[in-house]
Amino acid sequence: MKSRYSLVAAATAALVAAFVVAAAAFGSSSSTKLIGTTGANDAFKITLTKGGHSVKTLAAGTYTFVIHDGSTIHSFALDGPHGFAKDFTTVPFKGTKTATIKLKAGKYKYYCKAHESQMFGHFTVH
Ligand SMILES: [Cu+2]
């Protein structure tokens, strides 16, 4: 016959397992959102914001990039340390793309691939 303790242990293990699953699900959906905008109304303008403010520094970690590409002549690319390079959108693409990115310490530059010398911004990850 099972002891009272083993039943409690089994119930506790089930609860812990449920909690771990819930925590994992919550964690994957709770990464900080960054909003990138390029070429809205075909303007030669690119921005990256968090909570409505231009991104200048970020803590290392995982972020969800939501990129709004408003033009078929602009794109949104990101370069970073250790050879990191990501093209969120291409020049002919127009629309919205979302990607989850793990940012490491270092300097990053976001820019439009077609107009890199005039459409760019920088931020630093600590
Ligand atoms: Cu451009």
Q: How far is the CA of 18 from the centre of ligand 1 (A)?
A: 47
Please determine, for residue 10, whether its predicted confidence score (pLDDT) is greater than 90: no
Q: How many C-beta atoms surround the C-beta of residue 64 within 10 A?
A: 16
Task: Give the pLDDT mean for 103-115.
Answer: 98
Number of separate helices (H) and strands (E) present in the chain:
1, 10
- List of residues 6+ apart from 110 with CB closer than 8 A: 36, 46, 48, 76, 77, 78, 79, 120, 121, 122, 123
Distance (Å) from CA 112 to ligand 1 centroid: 5
CA distance linking residue 2 with residue 36, whole number of Å = 58
Domain boundaries, position 98: 31-125
pLDDT tens digits for 37-61? 999 999 999 999 999 999 999 999 9
User: Per-residue confidence at 9, pLDDT binned at 50, 70, 90?
Assistant: low
Write down the pLDDT at residue 22: 47
**How high is the pLDDT of residue 116?**
98
Same domain? For 62 and 101 the reply is: yes
Q: How far is the CA of 113 from the centre of ligand 1 (A)?
A: 6
24 and 48 co-located in one domain? no
12 and 37 within one domain: no
Same domain, 63 and 25: no
Q: How far is CA 121 from CA 13, 27, 109, in A?
A: 49, 29, 6
Same domain, 79 and 119: yes
Question: How many domains does the structure of the chain reveal?
Answer: 2
